[in-house]
Amino acid sequence: MGGMALHQPGVGDATPTATGHQARVAALRDQLAARPPGAPVRLAKPTSNLFRPRGAATDGLDVSGFRHVLEVDPHTRTADVEGMVTYEQLVDATLPHGLMPLVVPQLKTITLGGAVTGLGIESSSFRNGMPHESVLELEILTGAGEIVVARPDNEHGDLFFGFPNSYGTLGYALRLRIELEPVRPYVRLRHVRHTDPGEYFAELERACSGGDVDFVDGTVFGPRELYLTLGTFTDEAPRPSDYTWLDIYYKSIRQRTTDHLYTRDYLWRWDTDWFWCSRALGVQNRLVRLLVGPKLLRSDTYWKIIAFERRHRLTARLNRALGKPPPEAVVQDIEVPVDRAAEFLDFFRREIPISPVWICPVKQRDRRRWPLYELDPDTLYVNFGFWATVPAKPGQDVAAHNRLIERTVTELGGRKSLYSESFYEPEEFWRLYNGPAYRALKQRYDPQRKLLDLYDKCVRAR
């Protein structure tokens, strides 16, 4: 099951050449020009990795053709990729060359364009930052209907740096040129248990600055059960573990002190069970897994189940029949400086009944400024990922826990990703996400407001 099978982009589709790409760009520009004046513009995407409500997009722009890996250049260690290419496609195209993207977000169906405009993170982020930091060039369809090529040093440098965290409200990435880095066939893992949060985050910081590991992340199962997972590329390994079917990766963290995975399987170690969220869907039972088979144990399958539940509101109906208030969904990723991480974890343990929690360190690669999601380039941050529902008390604000998390993250000098629901008031939102810089970009690249405003999209969920 692992290995480095070559994906062949474009099989059965238009030939993934520069000519084919330009034809797709022209057709998309015609779609945008044909829309009625003032009509909001969205992508007609069949799937999404967002955890917040989205407005209906039945008449959205058809970008389904933009899913080609146009080129992988092993000499320059770069790839030219269309915006709707998934990381699964890209990894399958780069691994045969002994290369991978500098940051590979955890879920196979996350797209390149989505990860750059909406941010992303993984266990290489302590040395490589976020996906947008390894982008060399962006081809963007703006809200004004123009096709622009944005680079750090050209006339559209403001859009290049302002595109991350804009969530498609300034334009859509049609093509990206990104950096790649070399890999080895296997990843050796060490799962190191800690019982003291202060010592745990101190050790995490030392691991990130030591230069002798390639990947760092962690899993917190309880107040005195914290695991730091350190990954190192290696050319040789004993029999690699397989977490693509019957065995479950996150459970192995408590059972093993060392482990080995094929590099491809390491990159997708979380996808098989959507971290640990598959347990809510009943598929962590070994018999169920045996019957379902490995092809369906993946995040896009779970997304379809969740989409069905949302359409039919099955959980809400059941709670109403039982006379219970609906539970509050607390699905968030936040970053706080490493020296405040133990403080945040203590708050979280006291106030938010969710376990496990994912830990991932991140530090900006260089001193460049990304105005819509500014981090201190000299600071190591710790990402906390938590995804579950919590019981709501009668009469309690339906977003009480989420609002409390937002306030606490701000107080600790952190930032919150906008891929899920947000509850900020407008003034606070624009203070945190650089309203003046955003408005200047909006005026230049979408003056008629054909695309949604960032606050409307991420908080009002229009």
Tens-digit pLDDT profile for residues 248-277: 999 999 999 999 999 999 999 999 999 999
Res. 37 pLDDT band, cuts 50 70 90: confident
Q: Which two tokens stand for residue 369?
A: 């400024």
Instruction: Report pLDDT digits (tens) over 197-224.
Output: 999 999 999 999 999 999 999 999 999 9
Res. 322 pLDDT band, cuts 50 70 90: confident
Mean pLDDT of 1-16: 38
pLDDT at 314: 73
Instruction: Report pLDDT digits (tens) over 121-172.
Output: 999 999 999 999 999 999 999 988 899 999 999 999 999 999 999 999 999 9
Hey, where are the domains in the chain? 18-182
Asked whether residue 235 carries a pLDDT value surpassing 80, the answer given is: yes
Residue 327 CA: distances (Å) to CA of 283, 308, 320: 22, 18, 11
Q: How far apart are CA 355 and CA 352, in angstroms?
A: 9
pLDDT at 23: 93
Asked whether residue 45 carries a pLDDT value surpassing 70, the answer given is: no
Using CB atoms within 10 A of its CB, is residue 31 exposed (0-12), middle (13-18) or buried (19+)? middle
Cβ neighbours for 33, distance < 8 A, ≥ 6 positions apart: 145
| CA angle (341 as vertex; 339, 346 as ends), nearest 5 | 130
Q: How far apart are CA 455 and CA 462, in angstroms?
A: 9
Asked whether residue 44 carries a pLDDT value surpassing 90, the answer given is: no
Amino acid identity of 425?
A: E
* Beta carbons of 70 and 17 less than 8 angstroms apart: yes
Element holding 190 (H helix, E strand): strand 186-194
Q: Long-range contacts: 35-41, Cβ < 8 Å, 24+?
A: 35/450, 37/448, 38/448, 38/450, 39/450, 40/450, 40/451, 40/452, 40/462, 41/143, 41/450, 41/451
Q: How many CA atoms lie within 13 A of 82 on its CB side?
A: 24
Which fold is adopted by the domain 18-182? Answer: 3.30.465
Q: At what angle do helices 314-322 and 299-312 cross, to 10 degrees?
A: 50
Amino acid identity of 250?
A: Y
pLDDT at 234: 98
**CA-based Rg of the chain, rounded to a whole angstrom?**
22
First CA to last CA distance, the chain: 42
Cβ neighbours for 100, distance < 8 A, ≥ 6 positions apart: 91, 94, 180, 181, 183, 263, 267
The closest of 256, 250, 242, 241 to 221, measured between CA atoms, is 250
Q: How many CB atoms lie within 10 A of CB 333?
A: 21
Q: How far apart are CA 271 and CA 182, in angstroms?
A: 22
Q: Long-range contacts: 18-21, Cβ < 8 Å, 24+?
A: 18/70, 20/68, 21/68, 21/70, 21/82, 21/174, 21/175
Res. 321 pLDDT band, cuts 50 70 90: confident
**In the chain, what percentage of residues exceed pLDDT 90?**
79
pLDDT at 12: 33
Asked whether residue 17 carries a pLDDT value surpassing 90, the answer given is: no
pLDDT at 1: 36
Asked whether residue 11 carries a pLDDT value surpassing 60, the answer given is: no
DSSP E strand boundaries for 34-155: 69-73, 78-82, 99-101, 135-142, 147-150
Q: How many CB atoms lie within 10 A of CB 295?
A: 9
pTM value is 0.92
